[in-house]
Structure 1
Amino acid sequence: MPVTSAPLHIAVVGGGIGGLAAALATARAGHRVTVVERAARFAEIGAGLQLAPNASLALEELGVLDAVQHAAVAPPRLVMMDALSGEQVTALDLRGDAFRSRFKHPYLVTHRTDLHGALLTACQKHPSIDLRTGHTVTDAVQTSAEVRLRFAETPDRLTADAVVAADGLSSRLRQILIGDGEPVCSRYVAFRGALPVSGMTGAMSRHASSESVIVWAGPRMHLVQYPVRRGELYNQVAVFESDHYTPDSDAWGTEAELEERFAGTCQAVRDALPLVSRDRRWPLFDRLPLIDWAHGRIVLLGDAAHPMLQYLAQGACQALEDAVALGDALRQEADPAQAFTTFADRRRDRAAAIQTNARRFGEICHLEGMGAALRNQLLASRTPEDFDDIAWVWTPATTAAATAPPAQ
C-alpha cells in the first residue's frame, strides 16, 4: 500500500534497469519521481541476461513480470559442459517439480532491451514518474531538507527531497559521496551478442532448439549460450582472461586473443566461436563490498552500490531486489534519510555475499588441469534436483535462507 504521509519527490539518477526499477518501486510506494538519464534516449545495450527466481519475484512485485515473460524464455535446464572434452559436467532441472516447489517463481532468460523496455513502458504509464533524457549529473549538494542536482547540459538545477544514485559501474554520484576510485578490472573480457536462430544450421541449430542455458567451462575462459526473445535469437557470450592486460591501455582482450584462448576447445565450442559477436569487447569489472550505501538523503543502488562479476548471473537480479527493498523502505518510513538507511541495512550483507561468491564461482569455472578434473568429478555426482548450493542466491531476500551462503 502507498504511504499515508505526504508524498516525497525522489530523483533517480540513471535510466538503466536498476534506475527504472527503482523509479517504478518508488512511485508504486506513493511518491513522485523524476528520472534523469544522461543519454539522449532511454535504451539498454548488451545482449541476453538471466533472471533467476529471486528476480522473477521482484518483477512480479513491480507489476511487470507478465510483460517480461511475454518475450522471455523459461529454459528447461542449466547445463555445465567441459569446454575441452565436450562432455557434460552437471545440470540443473529448471522446470521440474523440485524446482517449482522450492522456488515458486520461474527462471527466465531474456534480452536486456526487452527487460528494459518492459520497465520503461511501466514507468511511462505511471502518472507519478517524469522521465528526462540528456541530463548528465555533475554535482549533488544536499542540505538537511533537500538535494540539488546540477547538470552539464543546462544551468537549471533539479531540487528533490532525496536522490537515488543508479548511475552504474562508473557512478559519478558514488565518487562525489565516497571518492573510492575506479572499479577493479578482473583482466577478463567478454564478447557477446544475439543472432537470429533462423539462420543457424547443424549443431548450433540443435543447441538453440534445446532452449537450455549452456555454460562451456574451460581454463581461464568460458562460453555461455541460451535463446532469448521467444526463442527467435540465440545469445552467446565468450569470456576469457587476457595475458596482455595493462591498466593504462585498451589494447588487450583482442579478437586475436579470443581465437587463441579458445583454440584448444571441443568442436562444438569452435563451431560456435565464429558466430560470437565481435562488434564490441566488454572488459569485466567489479568492486569489493561497500559498507556505506546511504549518505543522508542520497543512496546508492544497483551497480553504483555493488558492481559484481557475472559468474552468478545476478547483476540485474540484485538491482531488481534493490528496487523492491527501496520501495518497501520508502513506504514504511516518512523520512527519506531513515528510509535509505533501512534499505541499505536490509540489502548490504546479501549483496556483498553475492559479490564475493561471484568472484569465487568465476575461479571455479576457469580452473585448469587437475583443478578442472577435480571440479568435474565433484559436480558429476550432483543430481538435477540438487539446488542446495545455489538456493540462497535464488531464494527471495525476505527469508533467512537468502541472507548468506551455506557454511563451508
Structure 2
Amino acid sequence: MTITDRKTPPMSATSKSARIVIIGAGLSGSLAAVALSRAGHQVSLIDKHKTYPKQFRVEKIAGRQVDLMRKLGILDAIAAEATPFRDILNVRAGSIVDRSHDPHFGILYEDIVRIARAQLPTSVDCIIDDVVDIQTGPQTQQVSLSSGGSVQADLIILATGMADSLRHKLGISRRIVAEKQSISFGFTLASKTKQAAAFQALTCYGAGISNRIDYLSLFPIGSLLRANLFTFLDHDDPWIRELRRDPVAVLFKSLPGLSDFVGEIEPIDKVQNWVMDLSVAENVDQNGVVLIGDAFQTSCPAAGTGVTRLLTDIDRLCNVLIPQWLETPGMEKEKIRNFYSDPVKQAMDIEAMQMAHYRRSLTVDRSLRWGFHRRQHFARRRIASWFDRTRTRQATASYRADAG
C-alpha cells in the first residue's frame, strides 16, 4: 500500500476513529501497523513524511533479526530487494581472526521502511500530517493533527524514535544513561580494480584503544560496498574531520593491514555520521499510550541489538499483549504496564544495554582487567576458528577415504 497525503484536501474537524493509532511510520511504526492490521485490527498510521527520507540508520539484517522478521511475515519482502551475503572475513591488525557464515542482508534503511510500508493492507488509514497534541485517558485517546482534524482510538502507539516533543506533552521524560556514547559513520565505496575480493563481507576490528575504533564493517549493497564504522570517539575529535575529507586514507592509517584485504577502493558519496545517546524513557506507565523502539530505549549501533530490540517490542506488543488488552474495555495504565514488565521484552532491553557498555569497554577501557579480556577475547576466537578448520579438514579427508 502507498501512503497517501491527507493534507489535501484538509481533514475536516470531525474526528475519525480507529482501534489503534500509531504515530511514526518509520521501521517500528510501519511494522507494528502491518502486524496489527493483518490480525484484523483497525489501525490509523500517522507520519509527516509521505516518502521516508534517507537516513543513516539500519543497513543490514542478521542473526535473531532474520528470525523475528520471518515471524512477523516481512522477511521475504525485504530479502527480495536486499543483497544477501554469508561469507564474512573477520580481521584485526592485519591478521585473520576467524570467518563466519551466518545469513545477512544488506539494504539501506529508507528501503526497509519503503518495503514495510508497501506491506500495509488497504484497511490501514494512512495519514500524512503532524501530530500537535495528544490527550489520553483510561477509556479513549485523541490525537490532534496540524490540519485541524483528530483521530480517536482505544490505544496510541508512540513510534517516534528519539523525537521528544510528544513525549514531553505526555509528561514522559528521557533519562540519559550515557551521553554521546558512540559515533557511527556510513559511506559507500567502489573498488578501483576488477579483481574479485576474497570475501563477501569483511569486519576489521580496531587494534588499539588509542583511536577508539570498535570495528569497520564492509558489506555489499547491490554492486557497491557499504562501510559502517563504529567508534567511541569524542564528538569534537579532529579525527572525524579527517575521515570526512579522505575516508580511505584515514581508514588505512587507522586500521593497519586493512588495505591488504580490500585493495584499492574509493569513496563515491559523503561520510554520514550518527551520534547516539543511550537513554531510557521514564514515567511511561500511562493510560492509553505505549512506547516502542527508540521511543522507549535507545541502543548502541556497534552492539547490533537495536533492530532485535525493536522487533521484539513489536512481536510482544502486537502479537501477545494487545490481543489480550482488547478483550476487555479500557486501556488503563495497569494494562500498559504489562508491556514494560513483559519478561521477554525486559530481557532484550537489559541485554541491549549491557552489550552497549560491553562494546565500549572492550574498545576503550585501559584497565588491566579489560586489557586481559581484550587479548583473551580475540585469542579464543582464533583458537575456535583453528579447531573448526581442523575438524573440517579431518571430515573432508575421512569422506574422501570412505569414497575411495
| TM-superposition CA deviations, 1:83-114 (whole Å, max 9, x none) | xx2222344332xxxxxxxxxxx443332233
Which of 174, 177, 181 is the aligned partner of 2:167? 174
Which residue of 337, 343, 352 corresponds with 2:339? 343
| Residue of structure 2 in register with 1:88 after alignment | 96
- Which residue matches 1:127? 122
Q: Distance in 2 between matches of 1:87 and 1:369?
A: 25
> Among the aligned pairs, what percent are the same residue?
17
Aligned pair partner of 2:110 in 113, 123, 128: 113
Q: Provide, for residues 52-111 of structure 1, a one-character-per-residue CA deviation record: whole Å limited to 9, x for no partner.
A: 3322222222222111111234432455422xx2222344332xxxxxxxxxxx443332
Counterpart code for 2:111: D
Q: Which residue of 1 aligns with 2:255?
A: 265
Seen in structure 2, the aligned counterparts of structure 1 residues 128 and 91 have a Cα distance that, compared at 3 Å, is same
Counterpart residue number, 2:295: 304
Q: 1:325 to 1:160 in 2, by over 3 A?
A: same
Aligned length: 352
Q: Could you tell me whether the CA contact under 8 Å between 1:236 and 1:276 is conserved in 2?
A: no
Secondary structure of 1:306's aligned partner: coil
Report 1:14-33 matches (<5 A). Answer: 14-33=24-43
Displacement of 1:378: 3.2
- The amino acid that maps onto 1:217 is G
Structure 2 residue identity aligned to 1:38: K
8 Å Cα contact 2:174-2:281 kept in structure 1: no
Residue among 81, 87, 90 paired with 1:71: 81
TM-score normalised according to structure 1 size: 0.74
Between 1:55-64 and 1:235-244, the stretch displaced more is 235-244
Pick closer, same or farther for the CA change 1:194–1:318 going to 2, 3 Å: farther
Q: Which residue of 1 aligns with 2:199?
A: 210
338-347 or 64-73, which deviates more: 338-347
Q: State the SS of the aligned residue for 2:358.
A: helix
> By how many angstroms is 1:31 displaced?
0.9
Inter-CA distance 47–306: structure 2 relative to 1 (3 Å threshold): closer
Pairwise CA distance, 1:33: 1.0
Q: Point out the more displaced range, 233-242 or 300-309.
A: 233-242
The answer for the alignment partner of 2:242 in structure 1 is 256
Identify if the C-alpha distance between structure 1 residues 312 and 279 changes in structure 2 by more than 3 Å, giving closer, same or farther.
closer
* Letter of the structure 1 residue corresponding to residue 256 of structure 2: C
How far did 1:369 drift?
Answer: 9.9
CA distance in 2 between counterparts of 1:253 and 1:174 reads 35
- Greater C-alpha radius of gyration: 2
Does residue 361 (structure 1) correspond to residue 353 (structure 2)? The answer is no
**Counterpart among 310, 329, 334 of residue 319 in structure 1:** 310
CA distance in 1, matches of 2:299, 2:29: 17
Kindly tell me: are residues 233 and 182 of structure 1, through their superposed partners in 2, closer, same or farther at Cα, counting changes over 3 Å?
farther
The 10-residue stretch of structure 1 (31-40 or 14-23) with the greater mean CA deviation from structure 2: 31-40
Structure 2, unmatched stretches of 5+, are 1-16, 388-404
The 2-side partners of 1:341 and 1:272 are apart by: 54
The C-alpha deviation readout for 1:194-248, integer Å capped at 9, x for no partner, is 34xxx41349x655x622351432430144333344x423210233344464xxx
CA contact (8 A) 1:17 1:316 kept: no
Match of 2:231 among 211, 222, 240: 240
Contact 2:181 2:278 (8 Å CA) reproduced: no
SS at match of 1:381: helix
Q: Hey, what's the Cα distance between the residues in 2 that align with 1:32 and 1:166?
A: 17
Distance 2:113 2:169 in 1: 27
Q: Which residue number in structure 1 is paired with residue 5 of structure 2?
A: none
Aligned to 2:13: none
Deviation string 1:243-297 (CA, Å, 9 cap, x unpaired) is 464xxxxx9774236679754431426978862853533222221x456544221
Q: Does the CA contact (< 8 Å) of 1:222 and 1:239 recur in 2?
A: yes
Find the aligned partners of 2:33 and 2:124 in 1 and give their Cα distance: 7
Task: Work out whether residues 223 and 238 of structure 1, in 8 Å CA contact, stay in contact via their aligned partners in 2.
Answer: yes
CA distance in 2, matches of 1:319, 1:241: 23
* Deviation (angstroms), 1:141: 0.9
Q: By how many angstroms is 1:362 displaced? A: 3.0
What amino acid does structure 2 have at the position aligned with 1:330?
I
Q: Secondary structure at the match of 1:140?
A: strand
CA distance in 2 between partners of 1:107 and 1:317 (Å): 14
Q: Is the 8 A contact 1:189 1:253 kept in 2?
A: no
Counting only pairs closer than 5 Å after superposition, residues 257-296 of structure 1 correspond to structure 2 as 262=251, 263-268=253-258, 275=267, 277-287=269-279, 289-290=280-281, 293-296=284-287
CA RMSD of aligned residues (A): 3.5
- The answer to whether the aligner puts 1:13 opposite 2:2 as a matched pair is no
C-alpha displacement of 1:120: 0.9
1:186 aligns with 2:180: yes
Superposition TM-score, scaled by structure 2 size: 0.74
User: Residues 5-35 of structure 1: CA distance to partner in whole angstroms, max 9, x if unpaired?
Assistant: xx96111111110110111112122211111
The one-letter code of the counterpart of 1:150 is S
Tell me if structure 2 keeps the 8 A contact 1:240–1:261: no
CA distance in structure 2 between the aligned counterparts of 1:13 and 1:217, rounded to whole angstroms: 39
Amino acid at match of 2:95: E
Task: Tell me the alpha carbon deviations over residues 104-157 of structure 1, each in whole angstroms, 9 at most, x when there is no partner.
Answer: xx443332233222211101xx03212222x22232111232111223x32222
Deviation at 1:332, TM superposition (A): 2.8
Task: After superposition, give the CA deviation of every residue in 1:165-197 in whole Å (9 maximum; x if it has no partner).
Answer: 0000224333333442575532542321334xx
2-structure distance, mates of 1:314, 1:25: 21
- Give the distance between the partners of 2:200 and 2:285, measured in 1 at CA: 41
From 132, 138, 147, the equivalent of 1:144 is 138
- Taking a change above 3 Å as real, the CA distance of residues 305 and 244 of structure 1, as seen in their structure-2 partners, is closer
